[in-house]
Structure 1
């Protein structure tokens, strides 16, 4: 299994207890819909399979996991901060009408006044709102994704039209 045949779901954040239990942190939005019989952990740029004995998914984007052959804290400690993947065939299918802010990655951003700014490279979910990061000629432009700022989302042409506050783009260009 290689990375092109899999998708990233999160990472192992820490150990728990002395018997090798691990805590996962999910960065995959629909983590509750995933099936966990086998996971792949990235170790030295290779995906190593581990069979899941038991998993307890929590409400805060985490899970407590016991893996086969990881039965001691020393074995578990070696996996901390490693990325976790699942095979592409385990990817949950989403309704095409279910559009999310995270789907804006790859969209071109055009401001009402400034014109084309660049491509959305990331969308972060913060407690108060979602924030888009745009690669603007090698500089990062960040702005909140709110109804007040978004004029239109063109799904067909992957264009996000916005009306950013006056001076925001200039501020990022100066940095």
Structure 2
């Protein structure tokens, strides 16, 4: 399993007790609504699978986690500060009402004049606006996500149509 085939749900904060229980920071909303019996933990740049023995949600962003074969404080300590992932197939589909501009990552950006620019690789949040990053002709191109730039968003086909200001792409390509 590769990181791009998964989504991050949190990380291991610390151990609890001597029998391998860990406190988990949960940064994925409504994780308790997802039914899963295995997780992936990033160890040394690779995702290692672990079966979940039990998970108890105690606070909004916290849970206590027991994993199969992690039955000592030493085994649990090795997982502290590691990121936890679930496969993308378990990620709940968003309702249209829940969709925000931050959800445009992995959408294909298409300019009305230049055609397809590429997939949006990141969305940077600044105080006044959101900025999308696209790799176009080998260069990272940044453009604002606002009403003047966005022409249309097709959620089903994952395409965002934009009308970039004249000369913006030239700045990056020269």
TM-score range (shorter-chain normalised) is 0.5 to 0.7
Aligned pairs for 1:35-114 within 5 A: 35=35, 38-43=38-43, 44-58=46-60, 62-68=61-67, 69=70, 72=73, 74-86=74-86, 90-95=90-95, 99-101=99-101, 102-103=103-104, 105-112=106-113
Q: Is 1:109–1:161's contact at 8 Å kept on the other side of the alignment? A: yes
Aligned: 1:136 with 2:108 = no
1:18, 1:145 → 2: CA distance?
Answer: 47
Deviation at 1:146, TM superposition (A): 1.6
Contact 2:12 2:25 in 1 (8 A): yes
CA distances 1:86-144 after superposition (whole Å, capped 9, x unpaired): 356643244367544324523132155xx125112324362644332211011111222
Change (3 A) 1:134 1:173: same
CA spacing shift, 1:46–1:23, aligned 2, 3 Å: closer
Unpaired segments ≥5 residues, structure 2 = none
Whole-Å separation in 2 of the counterparts to 1:122 and 1:10: 19
Deviation at 1:160, TM superposition (A): 2.4
| Aligned-residue RMSD, C-alpha | 3.8
Quote the offset at 1:150 in angstroms. 0.9
Deviation at 1:42, TM superposition (A): 4.1
1:164 paired residue number: 164
Distance 1:167 1:145 in 2: 17
